[in-house]
Amino acid sequence: MPTKLINPMNETPVRVSTPPARPRSLQGKTVGLLDISKTGGNLFLDRLEHLLRERFHVANVVRTMKPTFAKPAPPGIIEQLRAVDAVVEALAD
């Protein structure tokens, strides 16, 4: 006879969403740059913004910053990035 066990793992239903298709080109697109407020993130994103504008001819860059790297982005930040075509997050130190 099989042994019965009570499942101790997370069984909370989750909503699965599909990520949008990657853009084929960045030309004319709007790109969001998210600084998570770690030291040096602004230096990295300043350079990236320059490259995106000069080399990839993006139409617009939306810069935003989390108040702290230690917590998830507040809803306002997510809302700001909802309308852009792609996001780059400066995640690490």
Nearest distance from C-beta of residue 64 to another protein, angstroms: 17
Of residues 34 and 52, the one with the C-beta less far from another protein: 34
Residues comprising the chain, all counted: 93
Instruction: Write down the least CB distance from residue 19 to another protein, Å.
Output: 18
Binding site for another protein (CB under 8 A): 1-14, 39, 67-68, 70-72
- Amino acid identity for residue 85 in this structure: D
> Considering beta carbons, is residue 16 or 21 the nearer one to another protein?
16
Our CB check for another protein shows the closer of 45 and 73 to be 73
